[in-house]
Structure 1
Amino acid sequence: MTLRIGMIGTGWFSRKHAEYLSEMNGVKVQAICGTSMEKAATMAADFQGSQGYDDFKRMLDSEKLDAVYICVPPMAHGQIELELIERNIPFLVEKPLGIDIETPKKILTRLEKSSLLTAVGYHFRYKQSVQRLKKAVNSTTLGMVSGYWMGQMPEIAWWRKQEGSGGQFIEQTTHIVDVLRYVAGEVDEVYANYSNRVNHMKYEQVTVADVGAVSLKMKSGVVATISNTCILPEGVNKVGMTFYTDQNMIEWHPDRIQIKDTSGSIMEELKMDNPYISESEAFLHAVRTGDASQILSDYQDAYQTQLVTCAALESALKGVPVKVK
C-alpha cells in the first residue's frame, strides 16, 4: 500500500519533510499546497507525480490523501487543522501549535470528540540523546534544571513580529520546554521576564522580545529555569540543558550528553541520527496500522507544551507568576 501524502506549506520544513518522505518505500508526495500557485508548482516539480495547489480545501477536494503534513507559520494555524479533522484525515503538524492558546484549544476540543491520528514535530524526542537523557534522569532524584536556546534572529519577516511567531519562547525555545516536560514531567507555574535589547534598534518592524528568562515550578517540586536570546552574532550558538540530581550533573546537547559524578566525567557522543525521519516513520506506521505507540508527541501532548509557553508570555506581559492550566 502506497501512502499518499499532502504537504501544506512550501518553506524549508515542508521541503525537508517532502524530501525524506520521497525516499521512503511505499510513500508518495501526492500534492503540495502553497500561498501561491507559483510556489506550489515550483516545489511540486521536484517530486515526481506531485500536483501543486494554492488552496488547501481544493487540494483536499481533488486528491485522495492518506495523511497531510502541516508546515505553516505559527499565525497560520487553525482552519487547516479543523478542516482535516472534519474530513477525518490524519495529520502531522509542525510546532508551535499557534501564537496563542485559543486556536490550539479549539482544535483540541474538536480532536477530543474524534479518534483522529495526529503527530506534532517535536523532533528532539526522537533523538538518541534525549532517550539516553530520559533514562539517566529517571535513575536519580532530580532537583533542578537549567535550559537555554541562545542564537540569532531568523531572517524571516513573520518571525520578527509578535503576531506572526508568538515570540522566541513560543516559536523556538518551545523545543527546550518540550524536552523538559518529556524528561521531568508537567509544569505547575511560570514566572517570566522578557525584554527588547538589540534587535528592535537594528531591524525594522521587530516586535518580539530578544532576551528572556523563565522560572518554572514543576508539579513534582523540581525547579527549572529556561533562558533564550536571539541577539548573538552569526555562528555563535548554545542550545541545551543541565539536569542537577542527587547523584550527578547531566549536561544535554542535541547530539551528546555528559554525565559528571564523584568518579569523574563521562562524555557520550551519540550518533548523528535524523529525528525528522524517525518521527515520520512513527507517524506513517500509525497511519498504516493504527498503532500509535511509536508517536512520541501527539496533538494532545503538544498542547501541554503550548500551555507552558503561552503562560510564560502572559507572565512576561503582566509581571506576575502564572499557573499553567
Structure 2
Amino acid sequence: MKIGMVGTGGFSRMHAAIFTDMTDVRFQAVCGTSQEKAAAFAAEYGDANGYDNVTQMLDQEKLDAVYICVPPFAHGDVEQQLIERGIPFLVEKPLAVNLKVPNEITVSLQKKNVITSVGYHFRYRDTVASLKKELETCTVGMVTGGWMGSMPLVPWWRNRDTSGGQFVEQTTHLIDLVRYTLGEVEEVHAVEANRIMADLHKNVTVADIGSAILKMKSGVLVQLSNTCVLPDDVLEIGLHYFHSGGIAKIDQAGLTKCTSSMEVKEKDSVNPYVRENEAFLHAVQTGDTSRILSSYEDAFRTQEVTDAIMKSVESKKTVQLGGN
C-alpha cells in the first residue's frame, strides 16, 4: 500500500514511525507547508516524495490512503479532495474548529462512501475495553474528570479562531470517551474564564480554565473540567466513573477498579496508536472496517458536543443536542 501524509508535525511523525515499520506498506509522499519541510520530513522515513501542494501530490502520486495531521483551522479542502478521488483517510482530531467544515464533509461522505478513521486513540486502549465491560454490569450515576495541563505555545493553539480552545482541541478526547462508554449527550452547560495565560503571553484568546456539565440521554451526569495554566510536564488526564458497584478510574497510568472489597489495577498491553493504525490500514487493504472504532461520522457527534459546549459558554445558557 502506498501511503501519503498531509502535515509534518509531531503526530505525523508518530504515525509515520508506526506504519513504516509495517509490512506491505510504503510511505510514498508527504505534503507540508513548504517544500523544504516536506523534503526534510520525507528524508527521515526513507525516500518519500515531498510536496507543498496537496492537489499536486494527489495528481502525481497513486495513493491508497492518506493521513491528515493538521491544525484544526486547516481542515476541509484536503478531506474534500480525498473524498472526490475516493481515497481512504485517517484524520487526527479535532475535525475542525467548529461544525461548519465537518458538516460539509459529512454531506460529501453521504454522497460518496470512503473509508475513514479519526484519531480518537483512547478507544483502542485495552483498559477502555475493560472499562466498557465493567460498566455493562452496573448502573452509572455520574462521571467526573478533566484535562489539566500546560498551554501549547504554538501561535495557532493560543488563538480561539484557529484552535477552538481547550475543550475542542484537547478535552475532546475525554468527551469522546464519555460517548464511547455511556452513549450520547442530551444537553450541556459550560463556563470558561481567563486566569493566568493571557497575562503571560501575547495574543492569547483561548480561555485557560473551563468546566462543563453534560447530561447524557441515559440520565448520567458528567462533569468535565480543563485548564492549561499548569507548568510544563505537569499533567493530569482522566475520568472517574461512580457506579452501583464502586468506582472505576481511567487515566494515563491505566484503569483502577474499586469496590467495597478490593482494588484492581490494569495497564494497557498494546500501544493504542499502533492498534489504531493497524485497524485503518487493514480496512484499506481488505475493505473490512469492523476494527475501526471511530469513523468520521461517529467523530462528528463528538464534535457536536464540543461545539455545543462553546455555544453554551458564549450564550451562558444550556444547549440542547438533537439528532443523536
TM-score, normalization by structure 2: 0.98
The answer to whether the 8 A contact 1:32-1:44 is kept is yes
The answer to whether the 8 A contact 2:2-2:63 is kept is yes
Q: Percent same amino acid among aligned pairs?
A: 50
From 292, 298, 301, the equivalent of 1:304 is: 301
1:103-160: CA deviation from partner (whole Å, max 9, x where unpaired):
1000001101122100000001001111111111111111111121000001211111
For structure 1, list consecutive stretches of 5 or more residues without a partner in the other structure.
Answer: none
Please name the residue that 2:133 is paired with: 135
Q: 1:61 & 1:277 partners in 2: Cα distance?
A: 29
Q: 2:143 & 2:129 partners in 1: Cα distance?
A: 17
Whichever residue aligns with residue 216 of structure 2, its letter is M
Whichever residue aligns with residue 309 of structure 1, its letter is T
Whichever residue aligns with residue 316 of structure 1, its letter is V
Please name the residue that 2:118 is paired with: 120
- Superposed counterparts of 1:304-323, under 5 Å: 304-323=301-320
Q: 2:123 & 2:182 partners in 1: Cα distance?
A: 13
Match of 2:238, SS? strand
C-alpha displacement at 1:272, in angstroms?
4.9
Whichever residue aligns with residue 292 of structure 1, its letter is T
Whichever residue aligns with residue 29 of structure 2, its letter is A
Structure 1 residue 275 corresponds to structure 2 residue 266: no
Match of 2:44, SS? coil
Structure 1 residue 263 corresponds to structure 2 residue 289: no
The answer to whether the 8 A contact 1:195-1:211 is kept is yes
Match of 2:73, SS? helix
CA RMSD of aligned residues (A): 0.9
TM-score, normalization by structure 1: 0.97
From 5, 13, 29, the equivalent of 1:31 is: 29
Q: 2:145 & 2:305 partners in 1: Cα distance?
A: 14
1:228-274: CA deviation from partner (whole Å, max 9, x where unpaired):
00001123211000001111111111331111111132222x13521
Structure 1 residue 110 corresponds to structure 2 residue 108: yes
The answer to whether the 8 A contact 2:144-2:224 is kept is yes
Q: 1:262 & 1:272 partners in 2: Cα distance?
A: 27
Q: 1:320 & 1:201 partners in 2: Cα distance?
A: 28
From 307, 315, 321, the equivalent of 1:324 is: 321
Q: 1:225 & 1:38 partners in 2: Cα distance?
A: 45
Please name the residue that 1:226 is paired with: 224
Q: 1:106 & 1:19 partners in 2: Cα distance?
A: 31
Match of 2:177, SS? helix
Whichever residue aligns with residue 103 of structure 1, its letter is V
Whichever residue aligns with residue 222 of structure 1, its letter is V
Q: 1:225 & 1:119 partners in 2: Cα distance?
A: 27
Please name the residue that 1:53 is paired with: 51
Please name the residue that 1:153 is paired with: 151
- Superposed counterparts of 1:233-244, under 5 Å: 233-244=231-242
Please name the residue that 1:12 is paired with: 10
Whichever residue aligns with residue 132 of structure 1, its letter is S
Please name the residue that 2:63 is paired with: 65
The answer to whether the 8 A contact 2:256-2:263 is kept is yes
The answer to whether the 8 A contact 1:129-1:255 is kept is no
1:31-70: CA deviation from partner (whole Å, max 9, x where unpaired):
0000000000000111222000000000000000000000
Please name the residue that 1:291 is paired with: 288
Q: 1:190 & 1:204 partners in 2: Cα distance?
A: 31
The answer to whether the 8 A contact 1:5-1:66 is kept is yes
Q: 1:136 & 1:176 partners in 2: Cα distance?
A: 18
1:51-95: CA deviation from partner (whole Å, max 9, x where unpaired):
000000000000000000000000000011011100100000000
Q: 2:280 & 2:268 partners in 1: Cα distance?
A: 22
The answer to whether the 8 A contact 1:255-1:272 is kept is no
Q: 1:273 & 1:321 partners in 2: Cα distance?
A: 39
